[in-house]
């Protein structure tokens, strides 16, 4: 984005008085002119003011389910703030492209971004460790807990603010189900030999991983996947989940959907806030923007389980898609590929510290989870016999 275009966007998002925000710290105290002894009723006064309007862009197309998930955040912020904060929610491309959201938020072109860290992997490989790195044995719920309680949040702040000098504050939410291995034209993808030389779309460290397994990888945003498949630029691909995949027409270019993979097994959404904007707000409004991420995480999780499962059934019954479980051979090969890749990643001192923190967390917490969790497949097959036979 050129400087002139950036300035144009900044001007467009300004308030009529030239200030982008009405509620700076101490705004009520600065109102002045109140006679001694006058009773001030806070809520009507606040509601009488013009709301703060924040520009938020996602990394997803307008028709993607993840824009619906972002809308759940917008609705909660509006409700929790009593309308004092209004968020103008925009899809990918409205202001910047999907992979440019981080820079746009840091530069103040956007106030809030909604993406995943792997989308700015090209700026620093360590970004991929916050969602699409080695699985270690923990799932996305476990890795999100690491971000909040195991040291991940401070490491993320160090990467974005100290190492990269970005003017952002980030929050994570919505632990995503493990991503499918993806969409293939060929139904017989069961051995490592079957994927040799396939031109495949993924992103982040998953690209390094699958190249290690012999695939030829292209990193593309979601909106470019189906056209690339139609033109033969790629032979197979993954994006994320049955709903998003069907939203952009994956079922129109491939009919074999392989579920289960270690290439991206622990990802969460990333909410990015321009740091200057965030710190200019009163403390209660800052808290609303941040804690609404946690509330939305729960809401997104429920919505995803409902929609993903229903859309998976629709892909089978309405679109003629055959659902497969990724073979144990390929899954085992992915783990071996991670083991080969990790020593190379550890050459970077920061990445080594992140992975050490993750491993320490997983070793302790997943031991508890695995020892305590009964075999859910055993229970499922007891009550729904034959359902898993595909």
**Whether 171 and 103 share a structural domain:** yes
From 163-177, 219-233, 252-266, the region with the lowest mean pLDDT: 219-233
Collect all residues with Cβ–Cβ distance below 8 Å to 220 and sequence separation of at least 6.
201, 203, 228, 234, 237
Asked if residue 235 is part of any domain, the answer here is: yes
**Whether 231 and 165 share a structural domain:** no
Q: Where are the alpha helices (DSSP H) in 16-116?
A: 42-48, 65-80, 101-107
Kindly state the tokens that stand for 313.
Answer: 């059934």
Whether the CB-CB separation of 340 and 211 falls below 8 Å is answered with: no
Number of domains in the chain: 2
* Number of Cβ within a 10 Å radius of residue 320: 9
3-state secondary structure (DSSP) of residue 172: strand
**Whether 225 and 357 share a structural domain:** yes
Kindly state the tokens that stand for 70.
Answer: 């972002």
Pairing of strands 199-201, 168-175: unpaired
Asked if residue 384 is part of any domain, the answer here is: no
**Whether 38 and 99 share a structural domain:** yes
**Whether 350 and 225 share a structural domain:** yes
262/135 Cα distance (integer angstroms): 6
**Whether 162 and 293 share a structural domain:** yes
Q: Using one digit for the tens of pLDDT, what is the confidence trace for 103-155?
A: 999 999 999 999 999 999 899 999 999 988 998 999 999 999 999 999 999 99
Kindly state the tokens that stand for 125.
Answer: 């490989």
Write the CATH number for 36: 3.40.190.170
Kindly state the tokens that stand for 144.
Answer: 């999100």
Collect all residues with Cβ–Cβ distance below 8 Å to 12 and sequence separation of at least 6.
none
Span 275-282, average pLDDT: 98
Assign 3 a pLDDT band (cuts: 50, 70, 90).
Answer: very low
Q: Which domain holds residue 241?
A: 182-265+322-369
**Whether 274 and 261 share a structural domain:** no
Asked if residue 374 is part of any domain, the answer here is: no
Assign 48 a pLDDT band (cuts: 50, 70, 90).
Answer: low
Of 42 and 220, which is predicted with more confidence? Answer: 220
Average pLDDT, the chain: 88
Cα torsion for 62, 110, 238, 227, to the nearest 10°?
A: 60
* Number of Cβ within a 10 Å radius of residue 58: 26
Whether the CB-CB separation of 51 and 86 falls below 8 Å is answered with: yes
From 5-9, 61-65, 187-191, the region with the lowest mean pLDDT: 5-9
**Whether 155 and 283 share a structural domain:** yes
- φ and ψ at 199, to 5 degrees? -85, 115
The pTM of this model reads: 0.84
- In this structure, the chain runs to a length of 390
Give strand pairing partners of 274. Answer: 168
Asked if residue 380 is part of any domain, the answer here is: no
* Number of Cβ within a 10 Å radius of residue 368: 9
From 22-31, 203-212, 305-314, 363-372, the region with the lowest mean pLDDT: 22-31
390/386 Cα distance (integer angstroms): 9
Cα torsion for 351, 356, 361, 363, to the nearest 10°?
A: 130
* pLDDT computed for residue 23 by the predictor: 42
**Whether 338 and 199 share a structural domain:** yes
**Whether 248 and 294 share a structural domain:** no
* pLDDT computed for residue 349 by the predictor: 98
Q: Pick the last residue of a domain from 305, 335, 359.
A: 305
Asked if residue 375 is part of any domain, the answer here is: no
Asked if residue 381 is part of any domain, the answer here is: no
Assign 30 a pLDDT band (cuts: 50, 70, 90).
Answer: very low
Residue among 157, 377, 180 nearest 272 (CA): 157
Residue 1 has pLDDT above 60, yes or no: no
Residue 42 has pLDDT above 90, yes or no: no
* Number of Cβ within a 10 Å radius of residue 316: 16
Write the CATH number for 347: 3.40.190.10
214/262 Cα distance (integer angstroms): 16
Asked if residue 311 is part of any domain, the answer here is: no
Span 202-216, average pLDDT: 91
Asked if residue 314 is part of any domain, the answer here is: no
**Whether 167 and 193 share a structural domain:** no
**Whether 127 and 152 share a structural domain:** yes
Q: Where are the alpha helices (DSSP H) in the chain?
A: 3-12, 42-48, 65-80, 101-107, 140-149, 152-157, 205-212, 225-230, 242-247, 275-280, 283-318, 328-345, 349-372, 376-383
């Amino acid at each position: 984005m050129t400087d002139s275009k950036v300035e144009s966007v900044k001007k467009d998002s300004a308030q009529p008085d030239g200030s982008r925000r009405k509620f700076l710290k101490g705004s009520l105290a600065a109102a002045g002119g109140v006679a001694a002894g006058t009773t001030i009723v806070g809520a009507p006064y606040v509601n009488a003011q013009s709301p703060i309007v924040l520009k938020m862009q996602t990394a997803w197309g307008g028709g993607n389910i993840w824009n619906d998930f972002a809308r759940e955040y917008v609705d909660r912020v509006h409700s929790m703030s009593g309308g004092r904060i209004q968020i103008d929610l925009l899809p990918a491309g409205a202001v910047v492209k999907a992979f440019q959201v981080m820079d746009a938020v840091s530069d103040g072109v956007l106030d809030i971004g909604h993406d995943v860290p792997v989308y700015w992997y090209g700026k620093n490989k360590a970004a991929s460790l916050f969602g699409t790195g080695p699985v270690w044995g923990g799932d996305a719920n476990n890795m999100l807990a690491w971000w909040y309680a195991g040291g991940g949040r401070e490491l993320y702040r160090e990467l974005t603010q100290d190492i990269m000098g970005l003017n952002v504050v980030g929050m994570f939410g919505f632990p995503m189900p493990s991503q499918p291995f993806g969409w293939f034209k060929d139904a017989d993808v069961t051995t490592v030999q079957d994927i040799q030389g396939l031109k495949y779309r993924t992103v982040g460290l998953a690209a390094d991983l699958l190249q290690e397994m012999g695939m030829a990888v292209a990193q593309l945003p979601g909106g470019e996947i189906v056209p690339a498949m139609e033109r033969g630029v790629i032979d197979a691909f993954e994006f994320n989940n049955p709903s998003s995949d069907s939203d952009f027409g994956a079922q129109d270019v491939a009919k074999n959907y392989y579920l289960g993979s270690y290439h991206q097994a622990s990802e969460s959404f990333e909410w990015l806030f321009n740091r200057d904007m965030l710190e200019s707000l009163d403390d209660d409004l800052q808290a609303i923007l941040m804690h609404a991420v946690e509330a939305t995480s729960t809401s997104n999780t429920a919505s995803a389980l409902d929609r993903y499962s229903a859309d998976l059934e629709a892909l089978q019954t309405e679109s003629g898609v055959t659902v497969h479980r990724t073979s144990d051979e390929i899954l085992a090969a992915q783990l071996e590929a991670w083991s080969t890749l990790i020593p190379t990643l550890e050459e970077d001192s920061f990445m080594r510290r992140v992975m050490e923190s993750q491993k320490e967390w997983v070793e302790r917490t997943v031991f508890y989870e695995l020892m305590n969790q009964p075999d859910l497949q055993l229970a499922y097959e007891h009550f729904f016999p034959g359902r898993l036979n595909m």
